């Protein structure tokens, strides 16, 4: 078992809050639409769509909303064109940042994301500038209160997972994306509640500690990005100590 970023814990808590206030609906509808457009409207033959629909059902999205999002993606219903853009850059202090967006206005999104990086002392990079610092992994997050470490590790590894990470208040299970469904199904069959599940997440290979003003600016940058209406996900390799988090609280 290996350690993980304190920011990962903060991020997952924010995701849970978003789910409660309904903001996650917008992101999931975009993801369903994009998945259906790229891989077809049959979830049995489209793993990305299957994962998105499962996530939508987990937050009680109405079946009609899901159906319409799929149909917009396949072109059966008219709807605004949604484009995916991945931004790569460096935050204040030099931490690597990947920003996944889904937008109906590329110029607006590019301008606003670039402005956000510059305002907090970071900068956008060229394509490929930081993506190599991350690995594509299935990522399943579970509150520690819902599972004991040894039992969860045994269950996950037997189902095909690669690692169990300690993220403070949560456990993070990492797997090859091809094993995502099997691991998630095993966890659900065991009656363990899942905080979040991504079939393909960008997991940093190594972490970079940020402190002082850089830590504060990094948190402001990620807060803005997470709240932006076009941002689907934010990944970074920065870490913040418990002491720094206490200062920022």
Name the one residue in this structure whose structure tokens are 């202090």: 93
Nearest 5°: CA angle at 97, between 92 and 101? 125
For the residues of 52-75, what is the DSSP string, one character each? HHHHHHHTT--HHHHHHHHHHHHT
Tell me which CATH homologous superfamily contains domain 10-74: Integrase, N-terminal zinc-binding domain (1.10.10.200)
| 133-204 belongs to CATH 3.40.50.300 | no
Q: Domain extents for the chain?
A: 10-74, 83-132+207-248, 133-204
Query: Which pLDDT tens digit goes with each residue over 219-240?
Result: 899 888 988 989 998 999 998 8
Query: Which pLDDT tens digit goes with each residue over 121-134?
Result: 999 999 999 999 99
What one-character DSSP code corresponds to residue 92? T
For the residues of 198-232, what is the DSSP string, one character each? EEEEEEESS-EE--HHHHHHHHHHHHHHHH-TTEE
pLDDT at position 20, please? 52
Query: Structurally, what CATH architecture does the domain formed by 83-132+207-248 represent?
Result: 2-Layer Sandwich (3.30)
| Closest to 224 in 3D by CA, of 83, 99, 102, 42 | 99
Q: Could you say which residues of the chain have pLDDT below 50?
A: 1-4
pLDDT at position 11, please? 63
Q: Give me the sheet containing 170-175, strands edge to edge.
A: 2-3, 161-166, 170-175, 134-143, 196-204
What one-character DSSP code corresponds to residue 236? E
What one-character DSSP code corresponds to residue 169? S
- Listed in order, strand segments (DSSP E) in the chain are 2-3, 83-90, 96-103, 123-124, 134-143, 161-166, 170-175, 196-204, 208-209, 231-236, 238-239
- CA 59 from chain center: how many Å? 16
173: helix, strand or coil? strand
Q: How much is the pTM? A: 0.84
Share of the chain above pLDDT 90, in %: 56
Q: Is it true that 10-74 and 83-132+207-248 share their CATH fold?
A: no
pLDDT at position 138, please? 92
């Amino acid at each position: 078992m290996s350690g993980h970023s304190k920011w990962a814990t903060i991020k997952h808590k924010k995701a849970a809050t978003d789910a409660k206030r309904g903001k996650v609906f917008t992101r999931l509808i975009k993801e369903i639409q994009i998945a259906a457009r790229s891989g077809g409207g049959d979830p049995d033959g489209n793993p990305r769509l299957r994962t998105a629909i499962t996530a939508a059902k987990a937050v009680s999205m109405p079946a009609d909303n899901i159906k319409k999002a799929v149909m917009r993606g396949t072109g059966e219903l008219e709807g605004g064109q949604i484009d995916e853009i991945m931004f790569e850059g460096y935050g204040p202090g030099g931490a690597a940042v990947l920003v996944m967006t889904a937008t109906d206005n590329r110029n607006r999104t590019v301008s606003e994301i670039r402005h956000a990086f510059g305002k907090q002392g970071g900068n956008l990079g060229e394509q490929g500038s930081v993506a190599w610092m991350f690995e594509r992994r299935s990522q399943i997050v579970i509150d520690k209160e819902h599972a004991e470490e040894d039992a969860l590790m045994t269950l996950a590894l037997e189902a095909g997972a690669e690692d169990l990470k300690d993220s403070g208040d949560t456990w993070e299970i990492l797997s090859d994306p091809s094993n995502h469904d099997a691991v998630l199904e095993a966890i659900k069959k065991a009656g363990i509640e899942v905080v979040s599940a991504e079939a393909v997440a960008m997991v940093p290979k190594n972490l970079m500690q940020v402190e002082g003003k850089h830590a504060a600016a990094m948190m402001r940058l990620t807060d803005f990005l997470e709240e932006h209406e076009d941002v689907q996900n934010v990944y970074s390799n920065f870490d913040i100590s418990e002491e720094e988090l206490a200062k920022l609280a």
